[in-house]
Structure 1
Amino acid sequence: MIARQRFDDNPCRPRHFKPPPCRAIVPNGPTKQALEACRTRLLVTGALFALVFAVVALRVIEIVAVGGGTAESQIGRFRIVTAPVPSHADIVDRNGNVLAATLDSPSLYGNPKQIVDAAEAARKLVKVFPNLRAAEVYAKLTSGKSFVWIRRHLTPVEQYDVNQLGIPGLEFEHEERRVYPDAALTSHVIGYTGIDNAGFAGVERALDGVLKERREPLQLSLDLRLQYVLHEELQRVIDDFTAKGGAGLIMDVNTGEILAMTSLPDFDPNNPGAPDPGHPAVSLADRMFDRTTLGVYELGSIFKIFTVAMALDYGTATVTSTYDASHPIRIGRFTISDYHGKHRVLNVPEILMYSSNIGA
């Protein structure tokens, strides 16, 4: 057997050697003070965390036990959803059909100082926007400015295609676009807006300030159904007689409300400057001209109504009075005749029926 050796006699410790246990080290002085400070901080931090968890637990118990239901069912009470407010109110007809609305529309701009390869960026952008010229895009991207517009009012597909290009220095600006669901049907009444949504014609221009202040839709007296009928009938008559244009309106005689108003030719307010595919020969000025509100017309035979009304009112004529309209009447240098004369004696109702210039 191997005799048990002492640790002090032989530094090579055998496997069965068991060293004596060490005594605990008791810190003194600055070390002891530092440990006490750490212990205090840990206790305070733990107490704060315990307090926070206790408050949360009490609130959950209050919601579930006192308020009723589950915690998930109460989430909606504390969720605040703020929808963006459009800068212009919608325009609707008397039945609530939308005639004009404001939609979110991103616009593309560039920071030329961040564009690495302007020529490559211009080439890629022209593929996304074929109607842009590469030279103009390149000139913008090399202008040295911090902000240049590339394209206003993008469609979702166009925005996606630009994102796929991955060109640094191209960003999107949140904007709004005015849209008109019925296109040309109400173009002369509603009007249209510019690139910055400023009203340029019709209701959009006349009530531009009102539309900016309102949050509820602006309701007009128009009836979209009557507007469609009037538009179609007027277009049919213009096509049948090869007329240059026409205008018509429908009014409620009891209230004076305008139920329908149309002027042809018209335009698409979503793209006012675009040519009309159905009538390419019609100029933009003719399509933008509203014959119902801007046209000046000689009243002509409508004055016969006032002439007959005054004659009946003053007693100089009665409904049964007759007048010879068989021959033209010459007064001074002028000769009064009937366009479609009956060449006979006419009574007062017949003068209005046949629009007789001689009888009136």
Structure 2
Amino acid sequence: MIRTPLRPLATVLAARSEGENPDAIERENLRARHEADRDAARQRAEGRLLVLGIAFLCAFAMVGLKMSLLAASDPAEPRAAASGAQIVAARADITDRNGRILATNLTTHSLYAQPPQMIDPVRAARELIGIFPDLDHDRLVRQFTGKRKFIWIKRRISPEQQQAVFDIGDPGLLFGPREMRLYPNGRLASHVLGGAGFGREGVSSAEVIGVAGVEKALDESLRDPGRGDVPLTLSLDLTVQAAVERVLAGGMRLMNAKGAAAVLMDIHTGEVISLASLPDFDPNDRPSPLVAGDPADSPLFNRAVQGV
């Protein structure tokens, strides 16, 4: 049987001629190869651990980022979120023929509750009744201690009311910014303007829609995003409108009349300069329509166009 040499014979002879031990050299070479293999295996293991660590770090970072976004963002009101459509709250101003504001927008806040986050629901309900006397205490307590996760409390609150609610200090009482319609002249030209209310609502916005008068008749135009900052200009003259309403109210009192109406037009152009109907109302706090009786008894009844 012929044995295959483990080392080249020339290498062995050369080592012996130099007085070295070939076996010792071979053992040293084997040890060096083993150490090299061990180092390579360790580097591969460290590389795998590094990749695994980076993967875990990215996963935890994504979870942390998602939790931060959820904590910092306003929760979506269920009904509004279910619609899937974006709520557009923008609405153009309305001015008279001279550019004086008849209707504009005002940024305000809504008030809602998230009962799971409330610390003391009973105390919160009691404090809210002091701020909003029209609310029902027992109903609030039932809602706050029930299973619901979202409750509308007030669609629109004043800055003073917002501060009072903030002072309650309950983390489950939250505010949502929104636009509301403001009529700076109060009752003046109320039947012409009509009024606006809220349509689709979300936590951070609400759709403002016209419910009567010019606000309803030209609702689509007023809500058109393409208008930009261009107001809707009416043919009314605010000064003339105020004078007509003042004279009309005096005549109504003098005659002890149930109501009165007046329309003033430009005979050359047909433009309506003034249109008044009494009794009137404040569109900032528009009353509810009558559900029974004579509609003419309601201040919402426009005698100038609906009859006397």
TM (normalized to structure 1)?
Answer: 0.55
1:290 to 1:86, Cα distance in 2 relative to 1, 3 A? same
1:294 paired to 2:294? no
For 1:221 and 1:158, how far apart are their aligned partners in 2? 37
Aligned to 1:219: 233
For 1:148 and 1:135, how far apart are their aligned partners in 2? 15
Aligned to 2:212: 201
How do 1:42-53 and structure 2 match up within 5 A?
none
Structure with greater contact order relative to length (CA < 8 Å, sep ≥ 6)? 2
For 1:111 and 1:145, how far apart are their aligned partners in 2? 8
For 2:285 and 2:295, how far apart are their aligned partners in 1? 15
Aligned to 1:210: 221
For 2:101 and 2:304, how far apart are their aligned partners in 1? 23
Q: Unmatched 5+ residue regions in structure 2?
A: 1-38, 40-87, 200-207
How do 1:70-85 and structure 2 match up within 5 A?
none
For 1:285 and 1:87, how far apart are their aligned partners in 2? 34
Aligned to 2:270: 256
Which secondary structure does the structure 2 equivalent of 1:183 belong to? coil
Deviation at 1:112, TM superposition (A): 1.2
- Aligned-CA RMSD value: 2.2
Deviation at 1:286, TM superposition (A): 2.4
2:120/2:170 contact within 8 Å kept: no
For 1:89 and 1:164, how far apart are their aligned partners in 2? 35
2:295/2:301 contact within 8 Å kept: no
Deviation at 1:86, TM superposition (A): 5.7
What are the superposed Cα offsets for residues 244-288 of structure 1, whole Å, 9 maximum, x if unpaired?
11110110011110000001111111111289xxxxxx9885211
Between Structure 1 and Structure 2, which shows a larger proportion of helix residues? 2
For 1:144 and 1:285, how far apart are their aligned partners in 2? 44
Aligned to 2:251: 237
Which secondary structure does the structure 1 equivalent of 2:223 belong to? helix
1:226 to 1:264, Cα distance in 2 relative to 1, 3 A? same
For 1:160 and 1:122, how far apart are their aligned partners in 2? 16
Q: Unmatched 5+ residue regions in structure 1?
A: 1-29, 31-84, 276-281, 297-360
How do 1:1-360 and structure 2 match up within 5 A?
87-196=90-199, 197-213=208-224, 214-215=227-228, 216-273=230-287, 285-295=297-307
1:106/1:154 contact within 8 Å kept: yes
| Greater displacement, 126-135 / 237-246 | 126-135
Aligned to 1:66: none
Deviation at 1:155, TM superposition (A): 0.8
Between Structure 1 and Structure 2, which shows a larger proportion of strand residues? 2
What are the superposed Cα offsets for residues 310-352 of structure 1, whole Å, 9 maximum, x if unpaired?
xxxxxxxxxxxxxxxxxxxxxxxxxxxxxxxxxxxxxxxxxxx
What are the superposed Cα offsets for residues 9-58 of structure 1, whole Å, 9 maximum, x if unpaired?
xxxxxxxxxxxxxxxxxxxxx9xxxxxxxxxxxxxxxxxxxxxxxxxxxx
1:105/1:154 contact within 8 Å kept: yes
Deviation at 1:126, TM superposition (A): 1.1
Percent of pairs with identical residues = 43
1:99 to 1:252, Cα distance in 2 relative to 1, 3 A? same
Segments of 4+ in structure 1 off by > 4 A? 282-285
For 2:127 and 2:268, how far apart are their aligned partners in 1? 61
What are the superposed Cα offsets for residues 186-222 of structure 1, whole Å, 9 maximum, x if unpaired?
1100001123422110000001110001321111000
Report the count of equivalent residues: 207
Amino acid at match of 1:184: R
Larger CA Rg, structure 1 vs 2 = 1
Amino acid at match of 2:220: G
Which secondary structure does the structure 2 equivalent of 1:153 belong to? strand
